Structure 1
Amino acid sequence: MGASYYQFCPVAKAMELLDERWTMLVLRELIAGSRRFNDLRRGLPRMSPALLSKRLHQLTAAGLITTGGGLYTLTDAGRELGPILEAIGIWGVRWIGELGDADLDPKLLLWDMHRRVDHDAVPAGRSVVHFEFTDVPGPLRYWWLVIAAREADVCDEDPGFDVTVTVHGTLRRLVEIWRGDVTWQHALRDGALRVLGPEPVRRALPGWFALASYATAPRPA
């Protein structure tokens, strides 16, 4: 637990646990479906392993998660935070809209996209989405998302499979699409994004991914 606020208010008591750095993001990853330590690390790449271990221990001691067999599982108390985190995300996208360049991370974007694949919308067999981010230097410019057998894997090296469709454009624009700031159609019209491949696949691609609830939240005028 964090330092006490010495108030009986339940908000104060809850925040003694939840307002320590990274705690809410660890919970975000658990609620999004991460169960193993390495998966949590992939969703929180700038968090040190030692600090992640400490936060997981704190959440376990507080009764929000249980551990066993190398897995971290939310308890009822942990799952009850799901709607709260969703509401915070909606509030953030409505009122904290500005993104700095340091906020843009292709690894985080692809990690989030891979777990929100709508497998019922993807054709049977293997589909490979190749991403080329024109505003990202060096090897982080190229990524592959391999979708098969109701699973999806993120690759930062060519997996050697035939590419089904290529998404070419800026990382910033694709992040804006993922956050719901703009639509795929808008990004394609303004030229910030190009989708290369057979026409039926190009048309279907946006439907392969289910946007988060905050992406559909109305923005203030």
Structure 2
Amino acid sequence: MGAPYYQFCPVAKAMELLDERWTMLLLRELLLGTEHFNDLRRGLPRMSPTLLSHRLDQLQRAGLIERIAHGADVRYVLTPAGAELRPVVEQLSAWGVRWIGELGDADLDPKLLLWDMHRNIDHETVPDARTVIALHFTDASPARRRWWLVIHDGDADVCDADPGYEVAIEVRCSLRALTRFWRGDIEWTTLLLAEDATATGPSHLRRALPSWFTRPGYAAVPRVGALAGVPGR
């Protein structure tokens, strides 16, 4: 628990738990359905394993999550108290989209972006055969420029080394542009027409590509006033 505020106000009592660094982002991951420690780390790549363990212990002691172990398989599952925070996190997300400004370069992370994309695939729309999307981020460092999404049999993997399968579509764009698309700041057609991006592959796959993904709910939140046109959003 964080330092007490010594106020009877329920906001103060709630924030004694929730305003610890990383806690709300950890709850975001749990609300998205992530249950295993290593997958939580992938969604929170800059959070140390030690701190992640500590925060999970805090949430368990506070009654927001339950630790379920079956042999070596350990899952962290939200209790009703934890699940009740869903609208709080969703409203924070919507507020952040409407009112928080430009993304900095340090906010752009190809691994984190593709991790989020891989868990939001509409597998009903993807071809039945193994489908590989190769991505080339023109504005990323050489070591983080090439990535692959491998979609097969209702599952998906994010690879930073060539998996060796035939590529169905290759997308070449800036990391910032694809992040903006994923956040709902621009649409796919805008990305291709105005962001110096290209998609290479059979025409029917190129047309279908954006339908393979279900963007996060905050992507549909209307932008407010001048922020809708802020460069880099």
Whether TM exceeds 0.5 here: the answer is yes
Q: Does the CA-based 8 Å contact 1:133-1:168 persist in structure 2?
A: yes
Q: 1:118 aligns to what SS in structure 2?
A: coil
Superposition TM-score, scaled by structure 2 size: 0.93
- How far 1:130 sits from its partner (Å)? 0.6
Runs of 4+ in structure 1 displaced over 3 angstroms? none
Partner of 1:44: 44
Structure 2 spans left out of the alignment, 5+ residues: 226-233
Partner of 1:99: 103
Separation (CA, whole Å) in 1 of partners of 2:218 and 2:196: 23
Q: Does the CA-based 8 Å contact 2:29-2:43 persist in structure 1?
A: yes
Separation (CA, whole Å) in 1 of partners of 2:21 and 2:47: 10
Residues paired across the two proteins, number: 221
Within 5 Å, which residues of 2 pair with 1:52-201?
52-69=52-69, 70-201=74-205
Structure 1 spans left out of the alignment, 5+ residues: none
Deviations 1:57-99 (A, max 9, x none): 0000000001122111111111111111111111101100310
Partner of 1:29: 29
Paired amino acid for 1:20: E
Separation (CA, whole Å) in 2 of partners of 1:21 and 1:191: 35
Paired amino acid for 2:7: Q
Q: 2:143 aligns to what SS in structure 1?
A: helix
Separation (CA, whole Å) in 1 of partners of 2:121 and 2:90: 19
Deviations 1:147-175 (A, max 9, x none): 11111111111111100101101000000
Q: 2:34 aligns to what SS in structure 1?
A: coil
Q: Does the CA-based 8 Å contact 1:173-1:192 persist in structure 2?
A: no
Superposition TM-score, scaled by structure 1 size: 0.98
Q: 2:120 aligns to what SS in structure 1?
A: coil
Paired amino acid for 2:108: L
Identity value in percent: 61
Partner of 2:14: 14
Separation (CA, whole Å) in 2 of partners of 1:58 and 1:191: 44
* Superposed CA RMSD: 0.8
Paired amino acid for 1:96: I
Deviations 1:166-212 (A, max 9, x none): 11010000000000001110111114221111000001000100011
Paired amino acid for 1:190: A
Deviations 1:79-126 (A, max 9, x none): 111111111111101100310000000000000000000111111121
Q: Does the CA-based 8 Å contact 1:66-1:72 persist in structure 2?
A: yes
